[in-house]
Chain A
Amino acid sequence: MNQRGFVDRPAPAAEVARSQSSPRLEVRGLSKSFLGANALEDVSFSVAPGQVLALIGENGAGKSTLIRILSGAHRPDAGEVWINGSRVEIGGPKAAEDLGIATVYQELSLFPDLSVAENLVFGQFPGKGVINWRTAQEEASRFLHGLGLHVDATSKVRDLSIAEKQMLEIAKALHRRAEIVILDEPTAVLGGEDVDHLLRLVRGLKERGVSVIFVSHRLEEVFGLADRYVVLKDGKLTGLGDIADTNHDDLVSKMVGRNFSRSHRSVNRRVGDVVLDVRNLSREGVLRNISLSVRSGEVLGIAGLRGAGRTELARAIFGVDPITSGEVSLHGSKLATKDPLQSIRAGIGLVPEERKTQGIFIALSTAANIPIVSMLKRGARWVRPAAERQLALDYVKKLRIKVANVSSPVASLSGGNQQKVVLAKWLNAGVDVLILDEPTRGIDIGAKQEIYELIHSLCEQGLAILLISSELPEVLALSHRILVMHHGEVAAVLDGDTATEELVMFHAVGGKN
């Protein structure tokens, strides 16, 4: 392993000398390997009280390993962890909690059927032996209010939005007097307004003197929030410093280890005839009178806030959800959109929003996942394992899917590679129209770039693409035209060449010209 791309790591000792008082958290020379592969190699950095440290890196860079060490799930092979100037051993999750380290994962650890208050005080119930629920509720309300979190303490956690659940998780950490809060990609699963809300809460933490380690793939957020950054690549520290001294392209090049400039807008210029035509599509209370058309070789971006009806539109076109009125035509002939299989036979494909539960069959192998749609489309009776293997190997090569064995369950693949399997599933079936619903959510930057390139090449092959995304730069870079939705209606259709983030947002929030 060479040190390519590594430039400005200061020696740990120098780092210590520079800080006036002892930092809240400091790690020195942390290393960890699994079966001979280095997941983390000699990583050192520190976080001061009230500081937000952005932890950046592609999937597989070692971020999760680092977090798992700090939260007591893994023991490091070498290196030291210091908290408030004294060396500590993090023997397990309980030890981490006692040391004031709280970790909030994407998969939350709340009890969905207990109330907000019950979750908040869980394990630290007021009262002796018998729990005093009224006190607990009052305490919870007061505490949440103090954090600027306005949720009813008696409501069930199941009924909260994802954002509220995450904020409750953070509140729970604070309630246990955590001084170091680690947020593992908290915004990956959130939509626009929810992200803002969460970021506001994190800023609140700063003011309380809590140190935050913030993992995110969205660099925009990092710039708005963090004081310092740490970049990992292949388990090694490739960048460390003040956010003020860096910029987007610099961070990305430290992450990917090569020079990178923000994907420049390059859209396919050979646009053909209308392939998909949607007229006056409505669904009671969800979609109102939506008309759109997509041409061969064209990307129609669909933007809008969470709840604007983007996913619902995709599902209605694909025939998953019933529609009240309107029609969908493909190549000029009307579709009876009431059944996904009919849409598939007509040539529409959908890469759904929730990859793990809707896109792939997590217990089936890569080889078994890919041919499933084409089997249905052809009405195949037989499974041919050898042919499936070969097919999978072809797609592994074509789409650069990183997989150890195409016969193992796709559960063992990273998010980006799982998404490529979903795409392979549709490409193998042969589609004229591909609806992509948040195709890069929760995927690392390298895989994102590959998916962008794939979208581009599919366009050149003449596919019509509907791209739904909450990431505006993505929509702006890839789309020929952008349809902005607001409250289940079309708010505007913008030209991709001239649209700006501001213009899209203006229409998305319901602004009128």
Chain B
Amino acid sequence: MSSLATTKRQSALGRRLRNNWITILIFLVVVAAVLLFVPAFFQPANLINVARQSSIIGVVAIGMTFVILTGGIDLSVGSTLALSGVTMAMLINSGLDSTVAIIISLLTGVVAGLINGIGVAILKIQPFIVTLATMVSILGISLRVTNGGPQAFDNSGDIFNFLGSGDVFGLPGPFLVFLIVAAIGVLTLRYFSFGRYLYAIGGSSEAARLSGVPTKKMLVAAYAICGLAAGLAGVMTASRLSVGGPTAGGLANLDAITAVVIGGTSLMGGTGGAIGTVFGALLLAVLSNLMNLMGIGPFDQQIVKGAVIILAVLFAMQATRKRISDRRGAAKALPSSAENATADPNATPGVPQ
């Protein structure tokens, strides 16, 4: 038993890599294939482009990870992204200082998230329904205040340059923002007690409540964070395009959910994390960039993207299953715990494996 315990021990990094190895492996295989068939991909200019493309969905997806970990979902992030961009554009056009305008736009995202959180945690409506409703309403608000038209504004300030398109040491500003957001997300989920409570709620909200976790407060906070991330993504989008468009959200909600799921976070909540999401977002950006380079039309791209989602999730499931059976194997090798497999709630009695 003791020798087993020592061989099982490994560095935290090693464990992370092992836990996310499937996503990383797919990533590497794709890179190798690309090296062969689409060498243009590795032009520095193109790589920078990929990084830029990944950043906005990446930021939204990091926020989404918080919500999905609790077992929830947020469909309204696309609408929130658009509203935030519209808000910023209109405030700047009305002569407000750009920093203040950005802060107010971010707060718009937080408010949207708070509304979602209250609907889920206090009113106890299913997350899907609450955020479906806010998705529609928030889009309505954007369309109403803009009368349906995109709001152009002057994005010549340094801050917009950084958030939207500028370079810092050769890296695109939005990508740096994504990396910072991702780092904050990873650290919060792993090293803040708040993060631990979100995993606990996603694992079993009843057990969390009985352990004293203020589940309502935590849920509201998770949705608020998701809203904040969507707001930030809205500011980034508008900064880049010099326009706040009421329909800028597009399918950002689905793309973000895709990135989270490909990254290995379970839609049931309780397992996963932000590192996976970073890779998920990168994978999506790489995929669409590659298809562009290969001259695949936008319609076909959609079809391929759907197929890739299924494949990635299948792989991830396979990896999880293997991890579980490894663990069971290890447990069985221990004397007097040969029946551990039956303690697993996922074990299906009577089904051969």
Spell out A's residues near B (CB within 8 Å).
34-37, 39, 58-65, 68, 71-74, 92-93, 103, 105, 107, 109, 184, 234-235, 318, 320, 339-341, 343-344, 350, 352, 356-364, 368, 372-373, 375-377, 380-385, 402, 404-405, 407-409, 411-415, 417-418, 425
Do A73 and B349 contact each other (CB < 8 Å), given the known contacts A34-B332, A37-B335, A408-B327?
yes
CA of A103 to CA of B213 in the docked complex: distance in angstroms? 39
Q: Check if B206 sits within 8 Å of A358, measured CB to CB.
A: yes
- Chain A residues within 8 Å of B345, by CB: 107, 356, 362, 411
A59: which of B1, B214, B333, B339 is its contact (CB, 8 Å)? B339
Q: Can you spell out 17 A-B residue pairs with CB atoms less than 8 angstroms apart? A: A37-B333, A37-B335, A60-B340, A72-B350, A109-B349, A350-B210, A358-B210, A361-B203, A373-B211, A404-B1, A404-B327, A405-B8, A405-B9, A408-B327, A411-B343, A411-B345, A412-B340
CA of A501 to CA of B120 in the docked complex: distance in angstroms? 47
Interface 1/0s, chain B 196-234, versus A by CB < 8 A?
A: 110110111011111111100000000000000000000
Min CB–CB distance B264 → chain A (angstroms): 13
- Chain A residues within 8 Å of B352, by CB: 72-74, 92-93
Q: Does B351 contact A (CB under 8 A)?
A: yes
Q: Does B329 contact A (CB under 8 A)?
A: yes
Min CB–CB distance A395 → chain B (angstroms): 15
- Chain B residues within 8 Å of A407, by CB: 8, 15
Q: Check if A64 sits within 8 Å of B200, measured CB to CB.
A: no
- Chain A residues within 8 Å of B342, by CB: 64
Q: Does B144 contact A (CB under 8 A)?
A: no
CA of A109 to CA of B192 in the docked complex: distance in angstroms? 40
Q: Check if B209 sits within 8 Å of A73, measured CB to CB.
A: no
A418: which of B12, B194, B343 is its contact (CB, 8 Å)? B343
Q: Does B100 contact A (CB under 8 A)?
A: no
Do A372 and B196 contact each other (CB < 8 Å), given the known contacts A362-B203, A362-B345?
yes
Do A383 and B196 contact each other (CB < 8 Å), given the known contacts A35-B329, A364-B203, A415-B343?
yes
- Chain A residues within 8 Å of B334, by CB: 37, 402, 404
Q: Does B40 contact A (CB under 8 A)?
A: no
Task: Please tell me the number of chain B residues within 8 Å of chain A, measured between CB atoms.
Answer: 56
CA of A435 to CA of B9 in the docked complex: distance in angstroms? 35
Interface 1/0s, chain B 65-89, versus A by CB < 8 A?
A: 0000000000000000000000000
- Chain B residues within 8 Å of A37, by CB: 332-335, 338
Q: Check if B271 sits within 8 Å of A383, measured CB to CB.
A: no
**Interface of B, helix, strand, loop or mixed by DSSP:** helix
Q: Check if A383 sits within 8 Å of B15, measured CB to CB.
A: no
Spell out B's residues near A (CB within 8 Å).
1, 4-5, 8-9, 12, 15, 190-197, 199-200, 202-204, 206-214, 270-271, 327-346, 349-353
Q: Check if A361 sits within 8 Å of B343, measured CB to CB.
A: no
- Chain A residues within 8 Å of B15, by CB: 407
Min CB–CB distance A431 → chain B (angstroms): 11
Q: Check if A320 sits within 8 Å of B210, measured CB to CB.
A: yes
Q: Check if A234 sits within 8 Å of B350, measured CB to CB.
A: no
Q: Check if B333 sits within 8 Å of A35, measured CB to CB.
A: yes
Min CB–CB distance B189 → chain A (angstroms): 10
CA of A72 to CA of B270 in the docked complex: distance in angstroms? 33
Q: Check if A375 sits within 8 Å of B339, measured CB to CB.
A: no
| Least CB separation from A340: chain B residue | B212
- Chain B residues within 8 Å of A417, by CB: 337
Kindly list 14 other residue pairs between chains A and B, CB separation below 8 angstroms, not including A361-B207, A381-B193, A382-B192. A37-B334, A37-B338, A60-B335, A60-B336, A65-B339, A109-B350, A234-B336, A344-B212, A363-B202, A385-B190, A404-B330, A408-B327, A412-B340, A418-B343
Min CB–CB distance A360 → chain B (angstroms): 7
Q: Check if B340 sits within 8 Å of A105, measured CB to CB.
A: no
A411: which of B9, B208, B330, B346 is its contact (CB, 8 Å)? B346
CA of A409 to CA of B272 in the docked complex: distance in angstroms? 13
Q: Check if A405 sits within 8 Å of B212, measured CB to CB.
A: no
Do A412 and B331 contact each other (CB < 8 Å), given the known contacts A72-B352, A358-B210, A373-B212?
yes
Q: Check if A377 sits within 8 Å of B212, measured CB to CB.
A: yes
A63: which of B12, B339, B343 is its contact (CB, 8 Å)? B339
Q: Check if B331 sits within 8 Å of A357, measured CB to CB.
A: no
Min CB–CB distance A398 → chain B (angstroms): 16
- Chain B residues within 8 Å of A409, by CB: 327
CA of A357 to CA of B327 in the docked complex: distance in angstroms? 21
Q: Check if A34 sits within 8 Å of B199, measured CB to CB.
A: no
Q: Check if A425 sits within 8 Å of B339, measured CB to CB.
A: no
B192: which of A352, A368, A381 is its contact (CB, 8 Å)? A381
CA of A193 to CA of B341 in the docked complex: distance in angstroms? 30
CA of A368 to CA of B223 in the docked complex: distance in angstroms? 23
Min CB–CB distance B342 → chain A (angstroms): 5
Q: Check if B212 sits within 8 Å of A414, measured CB to CB.
A: no
Q: Check if A105 sits within 8 Å of B5, measured CB to CB.
A: no
- Chain B residues within 8 Å of A352, by CB: 207, 210
Min CB–CB distance B339 → chain A (angstroms): 5
Q: Check if B5 sits within 8 Å of A404, measured CB to CB.
A: yes
CA of A372 to CA of B1 in the docked complex: distance in angstroms? 27
| Most chain A Cβ neighbours within 10 Å, of B196, B206, B343 | B343
Min CB–CB distance A408 → chain B (angstroms): 6
Q: Check if B204 sits within 8 Å of A357, measured CB to CB.
A: yes
- Chain B residues within 8 Å of A59, by CB: 337, 339
